[in-house]
Structure 1
Amino acid sequence: MERYEIETFLTLAEELHFRRTSERLGLSTGRVSQTVKRLERRVGVPLFERTSRQVALTTTGQQLRDDLRPAYQSLQQAVARAIEFGRGVRFTLHVGYSTPWVADLLGLAADAFRGCRPDCEVEIHEIQIGDPLGGLRSGAIDLQISALPISEPDLTIGPVILAEPRALMVPARHPFAHRDTVSMEDLADTPLLSIRGAVPPYWLDFHLPSHTPGGRPIPQGPTATYRTEIPTLVAAGRGVSPVAARGRHYYARPGIAFVPFRDAPPIEYSLIRPTGKDSVLLQAFITTLLEVAAAQRENSSGGGGAASAAPGR
């Protein structure tokens, strides 16, 4: 397989949308479609199921994605290291994000940090919802911002960077879509999507509970391994999913509506790093990150709508 074929396949497997894939890659939708069809002819079976409403991976497509992703990431890292070596970069920090609005903040902090430390590169990585702590424990990630609660003896938590009110992502034709608000008790009346993988049970209990606060059982819907699967499942009417209220600006697509919770606690996003592995360089980046987050809060208090005040999915 050519590198552009792998990149096209993995991007479409993440976006599950031909237009967004073409925009990300700077290609025409026709070129994306042709590349995928060529791969499917080579494999001999479909890799994607396509309808007028959605794109989904077949079982074979899921297997190919899971097999290709680590190898492609290793290839990208090797090229990045060669570029850094040629530029005279001596140090690299790997920082992770769990949601796109956190990625926006990390991007600003990385730009500011590179300005004062040209010998240091900051690589930003998406943390997969099915393995939220694996990168930290393997040493691939030095620092990440993820949703609490996280309580692990080998990880240092804090400070909290963002706090976001919660909304419920629902199919546009769902009865909840016409409400002004929903409550946690309403979850007993609709299937709730969940996540499969190495996710702490207490984290799932907080974000995707099996019972309402009043003790009513919540029907369990399909499970997802990747974040991009969740809006697709919701749009297909397979279930609902809690999300930060600002998720409407990132996940909006036809077939989905966002309804604010009136009684759910906010989602807190905190710094997480391996305990006892701080370095001068890491602490310097954290300082820059906190300064950028504070500036964003100041802007939002003046109507800019960026980061919320601290204590943050």
Structure 2
Amino acid sequence: MERPELPLPQLHAFVVLAEELHFGRAAARLGVAQPPLSQQIRRLEEKVGHPLFLRAPSGITLTPAGRELLPAARRALGELADGLAAARAVGSGEAGRLRIGFSASLALTVLPGLLRGYRERHPGVRLDVREMTGAPQLAALRDRRIDVGLLREPPADAPELCFRTVLSEPFVAVLPAHHPLAAQRTVRLGQLADEPFVLLPREEGPPLYDRITGLCAGAGFTPRIGQHAVEWQTVCALVGAGLGVSLAPASIRRIRLRGVAFRPVDPGTARTHSALAWRADDRSPLLSHLLALAVAS
């Protein structure tokens, strides 16, 4: 048997009248005149197929059908109110889920403050934070598997994406603590020409890899790659083990490992940039809140 549709305005009128058991008071609560209220109740009774109220000179009371309908009507109106509130919260960016990819080394710099500030301002939003290197972040953005990325050295050839720099920092030389160059206050890039290098694989972050090798080329040499490691902590560990040297963003100094020395690079004008990345067509308020917070910081 086909189930009748019960319009929500009629259910609302029914619940108010069931609570007041008086047409005048119910109409006043609803902000309508009594005749329209009576029409709403009559239409609802026609859909149900049975009277919902007993009308008598002494007043009105609920029929058995009315008593049966009342809790279901309250639930329906309550679920609608909850759904409207949830929809408004998501639409305004105060609820929902924001998926964030980040390069591990940026957990040493801007990421914690960014996440903390977002949680304080928008506690109803769930932050889904995923550690991944630069190239996988860009792929995940394009595939809509994440909403925003935080990566080093954004690419210049990604017109479908937008980038905003959030950190600029110099490079440092990463050396075994016992290396002769570790005794110097600064290291000239050319002094690393004969050293084996430990670097991140190019496929994990081509712009950063090319930036480092470009600095070496500017100093007159092509770095000889002895080892690759996906994370900067592993790079530093391999350097500390004596497997080579590296060039790294200055914030990598916060990785505390025994046997590793960090020295400023000469010339000190060489810098690396970290940026937020997002899809150019993304108009989500969740993203807008994050971008506004990044500007404020």
* TM-score (ref. length: structure 1): 0.58
**2:129 maps to which residue?**
124
Alpha-carbon distance change, 109 to 202 in structure 1, aligned in 2, over 3 angstroms: closer
1:170-207 CA-partner distances (Å, limit 9, x unpaired): 11111211111112222312111222263454432212
Q: Look up the equivalent residue of 1:256 and give its one-letter code.
A: V
- Partner Cα distance (1:215, 1:179) in 2: 21
**1:301 maps to which residue?**
none
The counterpart of 1:286, out of the listed 283, 291, 297, is: 291
Higher mean displacement: 180-189 or 128-137:
128-137
On the 8 A contact 1:94/1:142 being kept in 2, the answer is: yes
On the 8 A contact 1:136/1:273 being kept in 2, the answer is: yes
On the 8 A contact 2:133/2:205 being kept in 1, the answer is: no
Give the superposition deviation at 1:101. Answer: 4.4
Alpha-carbon distance change, 169 to 126 in structure 1, aligned in 2, over 3 angstroms: same
The counterpart of 1:227, out of the listed 222, 232, 245, is: 232
On the 8 A contact 1:102/1:145 being kept in 2, the answer is: no
Q: Look up the equivalent residue of 2:226 and give its one-letter code.
A: G
On the 8 A contact 2:173/2:265 being kept in 1, the answer is: yes
Alpha-carbon distance change, 234 to 242 in structure 1, aligned in 2, over 3 angstroms: same
On the 8 A contact 1:194/1:208 being kept in 2, the answer is: no
- Structure 2 unmatched runs, 5+: 1-89
- Partner Cα distance (1:235, 1:192) in 2: 12
On the 8 A contact 1:210/1:219 being kept in 2, the answer is: no
Give the superposition deviation at 1:259. Answer: 0.8
Alpha-carbon distance change, 138 to 152 in structure 1, aligned in 2, over 3 angstroms: same
Counterpart check, 1:257 vs 2:261: yes
- Partner Cα distance (1:181, 1:103) in 2: 23
Give the superposition deviation at 1:283. Answer: 0.9
Q: Look up the equivalent residue of 1:112 and give its one-letter code.
A: G
SS at the partner of 1:198? helix
Give the superposition deviation at 1:138. Answer: 3.1
Higher mean displacement: 146-155 or 128-137:
128-137
**2:161 maps to which residue?**
156
Counterpart check, 1:140 vs 2:150: no
Give the superposition deviation at 1:275. Answer: 2.7
- Partner Cα distance (1:145, 1:172) in 2: 31
On the 8 A contact 1:210/1:217 being kept in 2, the answer is: no
Aligned residues, how many?
204
* TM-score (ref. length: structure 2): 0.60
**1:215 maps to which residue?**
220
- Structure 1 unmatched runs, 5+: 1-87, 294-313
Q: Look up the equivalent residue of 1:195 and give its one-letter code.
A: L
**1:109 maps to which residue?**
114
- Partner Cα distance (1:97, 1:152) in 2: 20
- Partner Cα distance (2:282, 2:137) in 1: 19
1:124-172 CA-partner distances (Å, limit 9, x unpaired): 2222367453332332321122211412325434321111121111111
- Partner Cα distance (2:208, 2:152) in 1: 9
The alignment's C-alpha RMSD in Å is: 2.7
The 4+ residue runs of structure 1 with deviation greater than 6 A are none
Alpha-carbon distance change, 149 to 220 in structure 1, aligned in 2, over 3 angstroms: same
Q: How many percent of aligned residue pairs carry the same amino acid?
A: 24
**2:208 maps to which residue?**
203
Give the superposition deviation at 1:215. Answer: 3.1
User: Which of the two has higher C-alpha Rg?
Assistant: 2
On the 8 A contact 2:202/2:209 being kept in 1, the answer is: no
- Partner Cα distance (1:202, 1:214) in 2: 18
Alpha-carbon distance change, 129 to 228 in structure 1, aligned in 2, over 3 angstroms: farther
- Partner Cα distance (2:232, 2:251) in 1: 15
